[in-house]
Structure 1
Amino acid sequence: MWKREARSRRHHRASSDVDEHQGQIGRLSHSRGQRKKDDAMAKISIPHDAFVFVGDGRKALFLRNDGDEKFPHLKTERVIVGENPPTRAQGADEPGRTFSSSSPGRSSYEQTDWHELEEKNFARDVAGALVKIVRERKVKALIVVAPPKTLAELRNAFHADVKGRIVAEIDKDFTKLPVYEIEKHLTH
């Protein structure tokens, strides 16, 4: 009987050592992950007359650096606000139904997400406006700031002229921030 107790004590001690070790690994990897996240939002150099595009699926800000690289001063050049009510306000009817020839049951089509479609259209329209600005103003450097989903839509919609001018992309949503806060986030 004493052998069983000794064995269970050893097993308990060994498993607690493993748990403690795994806890340390978890803390270390968390701190490393935090460091990577902090490095990703490092200071960005914004050249004089560079444009900063800040947008999401509903609002787009076109900002220009009126200062220099060392002391940037972003000024609003243009603002586009799209009207995008929720899907329930845009949809007109229930999704359609279909009959299957192989079974007696019916099934329905998936509900169209009108809100998401409008965000995609807005990204395409904004990309068109950005091409016009890049060509007319002869923009040499462009920084694009948008949430990840919108950034993907913009990448698909950007013309080659715009893609060639992009010096940085940031997957954050700064559209609700005032311009001085955007400037602070980009440069610090």
Structure 2
Amino acid sequence: MTELKQDTWVVVTDSEKVLFLRNLTDHADPNLDVMEKDEQENPSDREQGANRPGRMGDGGPGQKSALDDTDWHELQKERFAADLAERLYAEAHKGAFQRLVLVASPAVLGDLRAALHKEVTDRIVAEVPKTLTNHPIREIEALVKKELESA
């Protein structure tokens, strides 16, 4: 069982929002304090794209094939994970936290794992594969505690 010790950082994120929380108490009665919230604007791909998908000449006379356009919405989600990984590295390098719990959907956790520096991964004590960014803090406290107890 992993415990949610005092001063453990809990980072709750999806691909567009992040909550930086710090546990003020102990595992028995966690009290997560919001240190910072951040949300990026990520409009739908249709709103971000400027051009129609391209077409390319095929081998046959008068034939053309459609080309996939860049999915700007999805690209921004991947960049969000990379930006968050950089932020966590900077905070770890400053010594801002010694223990870290990551709470994110499985897809976002995968993107984060790929981008995190060793200095950050060495401080991760648990990962919770759930999307909790729109939950009240009290629910996040209870759900994270429950997940850590069952791990």
TM-score, normalised to structure 1's length?
0.73
What is the match of residue 164 of structure 1? 122
Does the residue aligned with 2:126 lie in a helix, a strand or coil? strand
Cα RMSD over matched residues? 1.4
Give 1:181's match in structure 2, choosing from 134, 139, 145.
Answer: 139
Higher-RCO chain (CA-CA 8 Å, sequence separation at least 6): 2
Listed as ranges, the matches of 1:54-73 within 5 Å are 54-73=12-31
Shift of 1:93: 1.0
Identity across aligned pairs (percent)? 39
1:8-37 residue CA offsets vs partner (Å, 9 max, x unmatched): xxxxxxxxxxxxxxxxxxxxxxxxxxxxxx
Shift of 1:175: 0.4
Give 2:40's match in structure 1, choosing from 79, 82, 107.
Answer: 82
Inter-partner Cα distance in structure 2 for 1:69 and 1:154 = 25
Larger radius of gyration: 1
Q: How many residues align?
A: 145
Is there any run of 5+ residues in structure 2 with no aligned partner, and where? 147-151
Listed as ranges, the matches of 1:1-188 within 5 Å are 44-100=2-58, 102-104=59-61, 105-188=63-146
What is the match of residue 149 of structure 2? none
Code of the aligned partner of 1:45? E
Mapped contact 2:15–2:77 kept (Cα < 8 A): yes
Inter-partner Cα distance in structure 2 for 1:169 and 1:155 = 10
Structure with the higher fraction of residues in helix conformation: 1
Mapped contact 1:44–1:186 kept (Cα < 8 A): no
Inter-partner Cα distance in structure 1 for 2:41 and 2:30 = 31
TM-score, normalised to structure 2's length?
0.90
Does the residue aligned with 1:64 lie in a helix, a strand or coil? strand
Shift of 1:44: 4.9
Inter-partner Cα distance in structure 2 for 1:138 and 1:82 = 23
Structure with the higher fraction of residues in strand conformation: 2
Runs of 4+ in 1 over 6 A off after TM superposition: none
1:14-63 residue CA offsets vs partner (Å, 9 max, x unmatched): xxxxxxxxxxxxxxxxxxxxxxxxxxxxx752111110110011000111
Inter-partner Cα distance in structure 1 for 2:80 and 2:139 = 24
